[in-house]
Every structure is written in structure tokens, then in C-alpha cells.
Structure 1
Amino acid sequence: MEVSPLVWTVTIAVILGMLAFDYFFHVRKAHEPHIKEAAIWSAIYVGAALLFGLFVLWEWGGTFAGEYYAGYITEKALSVDNLFVFLIIIASFKVPREDQQKVLLFGITFALVARTAFIFVGAAALNALAWLFYIFGIFLIFTAVNLIKGELKHKDEEDEANNFIVRTAKRFMHTTDYYDGDKLFTIENGKRAMTPMLLVMVAIGGTDILFAFDSIPAIFGLTQETYLVFTAVAFSLMGLRQLYFLIDGLLDRLIYLSWGLAIILGFIGYKLIVHALHENDLGFINGGQPVHFPPEVTISQSLTVIVGVLVVTVLLSLYSPKGRALRVISGVRNVAEAYVTLPQDAPAEDRERLAAKGAKFAARMPNVPQKYQDELIEEEAEFRSLLARARGKHEHFERTGEAPEPEKLPEKE
């Protein structure tokens, strides 16, 4: 496809404008976005990405539009997996809730810069060295296998907050154990010191580079058009900050997401190897001549597989026996937490509504198999205590009509 310098310039300007808008109008003042705000802006960014696909369709035709949509959907799915890692890093550093937006936006910006560099290096290399498709394909299949094994899932077996760069920074530089708003440096005992905020940025930047190694081969497996690769990656990252606050608390319910991503990456790896065989220039394979079997995977087949796998993954996560068990356990916990933290002047209707909702979830708890309760309830004593406190507060309210004082729950780690 022919992309004029003007189109490139306008596209880059729009993407930079979207980032600047986020920096100056959303995160300049520290606050925690409400669900409504996050939902509206998530819809706006997804809508912009879909409209851009229509522009590709109008300007270059259905084939390239299909490649863009396949790439965008794949990169969006991988971006959701990024959110798991961001969540782990943010929780391990205990970043204040109102400052999490700035951390996320930095992560998104750094990811865009890192992946853009990979895109242009990768595009140049693939144009000159067709055999790199073999390497990319094998790498994606290897990544898929490791995802299934759980060795790379969210990287949470390796404490993201204690990676090599962070440990080195703590060893050689004066750091504080507390935050000073969203400042990267502060003054402690008359000396300039790093705050944990800077270490969070370093940890997220490092994981962004790691994710680029998965992301870029995956998108090149769907299209080799540099413009489509760049825009699909950019639009998939736009709105990730809002999506974090929109589905925070729901992420852990996508219990089979790693399986879905593994299948998608494995499929794209297979597609890359098939493409490499069709473009073969390695002398030890078929005498350096192209191999035309099996047939190449079409873009419509790619879209069908990617969307189908994601739909099945979400449905299984929500409606499988384990998914239903998690929904009940999470529902009971969320309602209990909401009740014990209710302001003392909350309307009686709110208390009755929460109590009725909690009663429905509690009635379903006996149906949750014990094996899932053991697996999904991390701190059983704390969990049971929370439920007992919520139940006791409501019984006291019903008996006396006096609203109990709200609790301040500890920060989740």
C-alpha cells in the first residue's frame, strides 16, 4: 500500500495529540477516575480505532482493512495482558490510587515509543531478510508454549517490583520508602532522594520492552505493512489507562486469558512459518525454492480465529465451573467490603440493597465446590472475618436503627 508523507504526518500528529490530551486534561491533577468517566473514554478510544479501520477500507480496500482490524484486535488482547502486569507492579509498590493514572500513562507512552522503534527496525529487517519470518514464528510458538506452562504468565513468579534494574537503583541511589505526591524526586534530611514513583516508572518501562518482543512479531504475522502495524499498535495502546480503571477488579475473572493468548500467538506463529515457507530463501530448505504447502492463512481466517478464540476465552472464564465459583466469591467479598465501608449517613435503602445482594451471593456459596474455595480464597480467615463483620453490622442496624461507623480497609496488595 502507498502511504503519502502527508498521511503519515497527520496520523502521527493525531496520535501525539491524543497522548497530549491525556497528559494535560486527565492526569495533570491526581484523581481516581469514576467508572462512568472510564467507560466513556474507553468507548471513545475504541470508537476512534474502529473508525480508522473504515478510513483504511475507504482509502486502500478491504484486504488492508481486514489486516488492520486483525492486528488491532490481537494487540488489544495483548494489551489487556499488559494490564495484569501493570496491576502487579502498581500493587507491589503500593502506588496511591489517585496517582496510578500518571504511572499508567507513562507506561503506555513508553510502550508506544519502544514498539515504534521495534516496528521500524523489524520492517527493515523483514524486507531484507525473509528468513526472519521463521525466527519470529518459532519465537511466538515458544512464547505460546511457555504461556500454557504458566512460566511467563503475568511474570508474577518473578517479583516485578524487584527486578535487576530496580534493585540496582536502590543499592546505588538514595531512595525513600514513601511517596511525595507524584514527584519522582524529593528532599529527605536535606538531601535529594528518589521516591518509589521513579522506581515504578523504571519497572514498568522494563516490562514494556519485554512485552514488545511478543507484540511486534505477532502483528507482523498479520500484516507486513508498516503503516498498519504502527497504527494498530498505537490505537491498541490508546485508552489502556481508562480500560485499567474500567475493568480493574474484573481482570482476575478472565482466568483463561493466558490460554486464549497462547492459542492466538501459536496460530500467528504457525502463520508466519507458512509465510516463510512460501517466501523461502534458505538453501537447506527445498534447495532454496519456495514451498507452497500448506496454503497461506487468509486475513479472513485470521480474523475468525482471533475473534473466536477471544470470545470463547471470555465465555469460559465467566461461565465455566471455576469462573462461576470466582464470580460468587468475588461478589460476596465486594458486597461485604462495600457494606463495611458505607458512610454512616448512607441512606437506609443503600444498606438494604447491599444486604439483599450479599444474601443472594451468600446463598450460592454452599454450592461452590470446596476445591475452588481453597484455590480462590487467598486468606480464608480474613475473608470469613469480613463477611461476619458485614453481617453483624447489618443485623445491628436492623435491630437498633443505628448506622454503624464505616471501616477503613487496608490497601490491597
Structure 2
Amino acid sequence: MDVSLTLWVVTIAGLCALIAADFFIGRKPHDVSIKEAGIWTIVWVVLAVLFGVGLAVFGGGQPASEFFAGYITEKSLSVDNLFVFVLIMAKFAVPTQYQQRVLLIGVLIALVLRAGFIAAGAAIITNFSWVFYIFGAFLIYTAWKLIQEARAGQEDDDFEEDRLIKALEKRFGVADRYHGTKLWIVENGKKVMTPMLVVMLAIGTTDILFALDSIPAIFGLTQDPYIVFTANAFALMGLRQLYFLIGGLLKKLVHLSYGLSVILGFIGIKLVLHALHESGVHVPQISIPVSLGVICGVLVITTITSLIASKKQAQAEAEASDHQGVDL
């Protein structure tokens, strides 16, 4: 898809306008209700759908299909981010009325960092087609690792700050409590960070770890930097509302890791096949409609089986509790 500089500027300006509207509408710190989160989740999904329809009208069916496949993939992978966001919020004891602001700025930091990854990835792919082998192998390895962790029942119950956050805390110091939405305050004549700034940086920089698999994954569906960026932007900007909407349901998605591993493994195989095709080897290519169908199908099946398994587990725990009460 041939994208002019003007279209890039208009797209980024449009995203900035939407982000600004989102910020100013909810600028007053408050507890986000399920209704509010639901409305904004629908808004961002509708905006993404409208953008995809616009691509279909002005760019054709292929770019639109690539966008929707990329958007759904990034959206599903971003749900995994929410588990870590919950841990970060707990680690820094973020008051509920400030969590919306923390997530907004944290996600914006993540989007800027991802833009750098996307630019680098596009440049590498353009000049070195063999990198598809590396991307494909990495995704297959990540898929296998996810399955192993899921089978072992490994769950992170704590969050460790990365070196950057620790270095900043050591360099500037951190206040011992939140001061509203302020990011910096003066204590004893010295300018120090507030916990609000620290947790925002933690949210934004932690996303780098998720970008290591999500960026190669979407490049496995499309090599168009414009589509890769916009799919990431719409997926990330709707993540904040999704946090409040399904935060309580996260633990019920017990098969999410299996679903994500299947998606990553599938895209990894697609990348390897594409790399072989680019090298002149006659192998079957996986089309975007097939990719889109597989991704959606896996997500639907994973969600249904997760909810069934969670329901059975809850019933078993209730029965065990009843038996224990009778024994007592």
C-alpha cells in the first residue's frame, strides 16, 4: 500500500486528536465504572472498524484484511499485558481513582516505543528478507514456551522493576506517597519523582517485553508499516478501557496462554513459509483470509473453553467447601 507523507501526518494527527479527547473527557481523577469502560471500549472498537472500512474503500480489500488480522492479533496479545498491569498497580498501590490516568500515559509511552520498534522492523525487513526466518523461529519458540509455562501452571504473583526504573529512582528519588496526579514535587529543596510517574514509566517500559513477540507477529501478517502502526495504535488505545472492563474476568481466561501460543505458532509457521517462498522455494502460502479465520477461531474457542473450565473449577471449590463445612 502506497502511503504518502500527508496521509501519515493526517493519521497521526487524527490519533492525537482522539487521544486528547479521551484525556480531557476523563481528565478528572475518578473510579471508572463498568458502564464507562464498556462505552469507551465500544467507541475504540468502532473507530478501528471504521478505519478498516476506510482502508477497504480507498486502499482495497487486501490492506483492510491485513489491518483487521493485525488488529485482532494485537488486541488478543495485549490482553496478556493486562495481567502484568494488574501486578504493577498492586505493586505500587495505585489508588483506584488514579489508575485511569496512569494507564493512559503508560500506554502512550508504550505506543511511542512501539513506533520505534515498527520503524526498525520495517527497515530490517526491507533490506534483509532472511530476517523472516528469525522472526518465525522466535514466534514458534515463544509459542512453545507459553505452552510449557501453561502446562507447568506458572503464574507471576509479583512485579519486579526493571533496571531503568531502578536507576531513575536512585538518581532522582521517589516521594513516599501519591500527590494527586503530580509527577514531580519538591522535598527538602530537591525535586523528586512521585509514585505516579514511576508507575507510568513501569507500564510503558514493561510493554517493550510484549512488543518483542507482538511486533514480529503482526509483521507476519503484513509488511506494511502503516498498517502495522495503525493496528498497534488502535489495539493499545483501547487497552485502558479493557483493563477496567474485564479486569475481574482475567483469572477466568485460564486457557488464554494456550490460545496465544497457537496464534503465535501459526504466524511463526506462516513467516517461515513466506521466507522460503522469498528464497525461491515453492511452498504453499497462507493467505490473509485464512489467517484471520484461524486467529478469530482460536480466540473464540479459547474463550469458551476458559469460561467452561472456570465454571467447573468454581463448582468444584464450592462443593469442597460444602463438604468441609459438613465435616466440621
Relative to the length of structure 2, the TM-score reads 0.91
Q: Give the gaps of 5 or more residues in structure 2.
A: none
How many Å separate the matches in 2 of 1:274 and 1:96?
Answer: 48
Q: Secondary structure at the match of 2:121?
A: helix
Map residues 226-265 of structure 1 onto 2, 5 A cutoff: 226-265=225-264
Indicate conservation of the 8 Å contact 1:255/1:317, yes or no.
yes
Report what 2:133 is aligned to: 134
| CA shift in 2, pair 1:189/1:232, >3 Å | same
SS in 1 for 2:248: coil
Amino acid at match of 1:96: P
- Give the Cα–Cα distance (whole angstroms) in 1 for the partners of residues 230 and 302 of structure 2: 26
Task: Name the structure 2 match of 1:202.
Answer: 201
Q: CA RMSD in A?
A: 2.5
Query: In the alignment, which residue of structure 1 is the partner of 2:83?
Result: 84
State the partner residue of 1:9. 9
Q: CA deviation at 1:190?
A: 5.0
Which residue is 2:297 aligned to? Answer: 308
Opposite residue 2 of structure 2, the aligned amino acid is: E
Q: How does 1:219-298 map to 2 (within 5 A)?
A: 219-280=218-279, 290-293=280-283, 295-298=284-287
**1:169, 1:9 → 2: CA distance?**
33
Cα pair 1:115 1:212 within 8 Å, conserved: yes
Per-residue deviation, 1:192: 3.3
User: Which residue does the alignment assign to 1:66?
Assistant: 65
1:193–1:8 distance in 2 versus 1, CA, 3 Å: closer
Distance 1:34 1:115 in 2: 29
Contact 1:148–1:258 (Cα < 8 Å) also in 2: yes
Give per-residue Cα distances to partners, 1:360-411, cap 9 Å, x unaligned: xxxx9217899xx9xxxxxxxxxx9xxxxxxxxxxxxxxxxxxxxxxxxxxx
Say which SS state the counterpart of residue 180 (structure 1) adopts: coil
Is this contact kept in 1: 2:140–2:265, CA < 8 A? yes
CA shift for structure 1 position 163? 2.9
Q: Output one character per residue of 1:62-102: Cα deviation in whole Å (capped at 9) or x when no partner.
A: 22211111101000101111111111111111100000011
Structure 1, gaps ≥5 residues long: 281-289, 330-363, 374-383, 385-413
**For the residues of structure 1 that align with 2:67 and 2:91, how far apart are their CA atoms?**
36
* Aligned positions of 1:3-402 closer than 5 A: 3-26=3-26, 28-150=27-149, 157=156, 159-280=158-279, 290-293=280-283, 295-320=284-309, 323-326=310-313, 365-366=318-319
Question: Structure 1 366/229 Cα, relative in aligned 2: closer, same or farther at 3 Å?
Answer: same
Could you tell me how far apart the structure 2 residues matched to 1:143 and 1:272 are? 14
Flag the 1:169–1:4 CA change in 2: closer, same or farther, 3 A. closer
8 A Cα contact 1:76 1:237, kept in partner: yes
Contact 1:57–1:65 (8 Å) recurs in 2:
yes
AA matched with 1:47: V
CA distance in 1, matches of 2:59, 2:186: 56
- Give the deviation of 1:239 after TM superposition: 1.9
Q: Which moved more, 1:161-170 or 1:67-76?
A: 161-170
1:173 shift after superposition: 3.8
Q: Tell me how far apart the structure 2 counterparts of residues 82 and 162 of structure 1 sit (CA, whole Å).
A: 15
Offset at residue 53 of structure 1 (A):
1.1
One-letter amino acid of the counterpart of residue 318, structure 2: M
Distance 2:117 2:141 in 1: 19
Deviations 1:147-171 (A, max 9, x none): 12229x9x96484343333333444
Greater helix percent: which structure?
2
For 1:243-272, what per-residue CA distance to the aligned partner results, in whole angstroms no more than 9, with x for missing partners? 111111111111111111111011111100
TM-score, normalising length from structure 1? Answer: 0.73
Which one has more relative contact order, counting CA pairs under 8 Å at least 6 apart? 2
Larger Rg: 1
In terms of mean alpha carbon deviation, does 166-175 or 240-249 score higher?
A: 166-175
Identical amino acids, percent of aligned pairs: 53
Contact 2:172 2:191 in 1 (8 A): no
- Assess, with a 3 A threshold, how the Cα gap between structure 1 residues 5 and 188 changes in structure 2: closer, same or farther: closer
Whichever residue aligns with residue 21 of structure 2, its letter is F
Q: Is the 8 A contact 1:93 1:161 kept in 2?
A: no
Distance in 2 (CA, whole Å) between partners of 1:55 and 1:107 is 29
1:193 aligned counterpart, secondary structure: strand
Asked if 2 retains the 8 angstrom alpha-carbon contact of 1:126 and 1:132, the reply is yes
Q: 1:86 to 1:126 in 2, by over 3 A?
A: same
How far apart are the structure 1 equivalents of 2:118 and 2:186? Answer: 40
Quickly say closer, same or farther: Cα 1:150–1:266, change in 2 above 3 A. same
